[in-house]
Amino acid sequence: MAQNIERVEAIMTAAPVIAVLIVNDPKKAVPMAEALVRGGIPGIEITLRTPNALDCIKAVADNVEGALVGAGTVLNHQQYEASVKAGSTFVVSPGATDNLIAAAEDFPQAPLLPGAGTASEVMKLLEAGYERLKFFPAVPAGGTPMLKGLSSPLAAAKFCPTGGINLGNARDFLALPNVLCVGGSWIADAKAIESEDWAGIEKRACEAAALTV
């Protein structure tokens, strides 16, 4: 089963940035997500890097109107299934394996945005019917020059670069023809979440939502 490109692209184009988050407290996840949505960033990727990440996804899915919440750092079928049960509307992975692609076929309601960092990885995903990809880790993997190099020979692939993206360089990535959005953690980093700086998160979300090229 090929990727549901229409559904994935709707998430990728909802705003210039998808917020990539590490959060462990469901009680903080809700006001955090509300601040992001108020600021114009509905795409919220909660990474499975904390013990309570799934509970945070469920809290946002159940309580935050307008949020497009997904799970990040998904590595296998078990995590994929748990993410969908928690309420994820999309799933993001740092790379791609045959098992993960198979998991995505089992849960079409939550399409996969798989990671790729080389031309060969992109080609393999294109062969599997995946045209909307995460470019990861974006800056270490070659940044904008690498994406420019991929744009002509692999024109069908459109990306969400993630890894090393910030307010200062996001516009450079967004200017590329094969970039639909970027993923970034600067909008709501761990310090801001821990200190409950919802006003600061909303302010940075507004700045991110206003990024244009």
Catalytic center residues: 45, 134
CA 71 from chain center: how many Å?
8
Structure tokens at 48: 């499975």
Q: How far is CA 188 from CA 7, 25, 166, 183, in A?
A: 25, 14, 11, 12
Q: Which two tokens stand for residue 91?
A: 């799933």
Are β-strands 112-113 and 115-116 bridged in parallel, bridged antiparallel, or unpaired? unpaired
Sequence-distant (6+) residues with CB within 8 A of 43 are 11, 12, 14, 15, 17, 18, 19, 68, 70, 181
Between CA 88 and CA 153 the distance in angstroms is 33
- Rg over alpha carbons for the chain, rounded to the nearest Å, is 16
